[in-house]
């Protein structure tokens, strides 16, 4: 037994020495697995810049493992920066297409945080442009819309945090699985259906116009919310808590407790429920509704 321990200790010492030699010779690498085969991710930074011609009013993005930003600017531009292969970028006079391939699971064999960060995809749209169609699908990443106006919207995300800032989105859907949805700084959602699970929703200075939110296993919180037409926020296993809400009427029902401007009740609360601009909060189980 002692002999085996000595042999094991010797092998461990040799392994540590080889590890140190590798580190001093910049041997730390990022590894991905594709079809079970390990592949080294290049640490060389890749970049790409495309300036679309014409006046594209449709944007389509399909990305995995990337930070995607679509923002208002002075001219059309698509840019990429990262240490993974460049995404496919196609721009016509009418549409912009961006597809970032899935490179499989990533295992870091590096010993500092600078060797691997999510690649960045940024699309800039002139401030005066109102997009006819915005379709975005992001998995294992980050999505940020800043100053974007879209007449038809379809956002689908998984394991992704979404931030909507100064944006106006209409006629469409947001499908979110396992992430966080933040709306802020004058963002408007009109006739949007939001379906989310394992997601927390946080709104600040947001207008909801005929929008429905169905959230499972997460909280919906907000401050400075303006309601136009009928808006329904439904949660399961979560709380609805909103402050400074501008609306003509309210309906609070379900859950453990309903609170409207300090009035507590275990039953449904209705206040000017027949008005045009009405906010309805519904909690199906294990949660409550409160408007302060």
Residue 23 clears pLDDT 80, i.e. is over it: no
CA 261 to chain centre: 32
Within 10 Å of residue 17's Cβ, how many Cβ atoms? 10
User: Quick one: CA torsion of 275, 225, 228, 249, rounded to 10 degrees?
Assistant: 0
3-class secondary-structure state, position 226: strand
Alpha-carbon separation of residue 109 from 24, 42, 64, 113, 277 (angstroms): 14, 13, 21, 11, 55
Task: Give the pLDDT mean for 149-166.
Answer: 98
Residue 148 clears pLDDT 50, i.e. is over it: yes
Residue 112 clears pLDDT 60, i.e. is over it: no
User: pLDDT by residue (tens digit) across 210-224?
Assistant: 999 999 999 999 999
DSSP string, 139-198: ESSEEEEES-EESSEEEEEEEEEEEEES-EEEEEEEEEEEEEEEEEEEEEEEEEEEEEEE
Predicted confidence at residue 94, as pLDDT, reads 95
What backbone torsions phi and psi does residue 148 show, to the nearest 5 degrees? Answer: -95, 135
Percent composition of the chain: helix, strand, coil (DSSP 3-state, to 5): 10, 60, 30
pTM, 2 dp: 0.83
3-class secondary-structure state, position 242: strand
Question: C-alpha angle with apex 184: 178 to 185, nearest 5 degrees?
Answer: 160
Alpha-carbon separation of residue 290 from 53, 237, 253 (angstroms): 50, 15, 10
Task: Give the pLDDT mean for 97-106.
Answer: 72
User: pLDDT by residue (tens digit) across 39-76?
Assistant: 445 556 788 888 888 899 999 999 999 999 999 999 99
CATH topology of domain 49-103+112-291: Pectate Lyase C-like (2.160.20)
Predicted confidence at residue 10, as pLDDT, reads 64
Residue 35 clears pLDDT 80, i.e. is over it: no
The C-alpha atoms of residue 218 and residue 240 are separated, in whole angstroms, by 9
């Amino acid at each position: 037994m002692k002999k085996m321990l000595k042999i094991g200790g010797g092998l461990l010492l040799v392994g540590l020495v080889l590890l140190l030699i590798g580190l001093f010779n910049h041997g730390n690498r990022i590894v991905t697995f594709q079809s079970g085969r390990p592949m080294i991710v290049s640490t060389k930074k890749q970049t790409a810049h495309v300036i679309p011609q014409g006046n594209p009013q449709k944007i389509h993005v399909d990305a995995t493992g990337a930070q995607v930003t679509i923002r208002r600017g002075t001219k059309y531009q698509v840019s990429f920066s990262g240490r993974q292969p460049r995404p496919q970028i196609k721009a016509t006079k009418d549409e912009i297409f961006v597809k970032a391939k899935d490179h499989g699971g990533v295992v870091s064999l590096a010993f500092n945080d600078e060797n691997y960060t999510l690649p960045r995809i940024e699309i800039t749209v002139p401030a005066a442009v109102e997009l006819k169609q915005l379709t975005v699908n992001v998995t294992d990443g980050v999505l940020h819309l800043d100053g974007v106006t879209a007449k038809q919207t379809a956002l689908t995300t998984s394991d992704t945090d979404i931030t909507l800032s100064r944006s106006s989105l209409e006629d469409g859907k947001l499908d979110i699985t396992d992430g966080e949805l933040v709306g802020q700084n004058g963002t408007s959602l009109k006739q949007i259906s939001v379906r989310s699970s394992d997601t927390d929703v946080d709104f600040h200075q947001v207008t909801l116009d005929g929008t429905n939110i169905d959230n499972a296993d997460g909280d919906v919180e907000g401050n400075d919310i303006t309601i136009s037409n009928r808006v329904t926020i439904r949660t399961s296993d979560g709380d609805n808590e909103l402050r400074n809400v501008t609306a003509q009427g309210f309906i609070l029902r379900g859950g453990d407790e309903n609170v409207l401007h300090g009035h507590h009740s275990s039953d449904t609360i209705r206040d000017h429920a027949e008005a045009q601009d009405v906010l309805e909060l519904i909690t199906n189980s294990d949660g409550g509704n409160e408007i302060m």
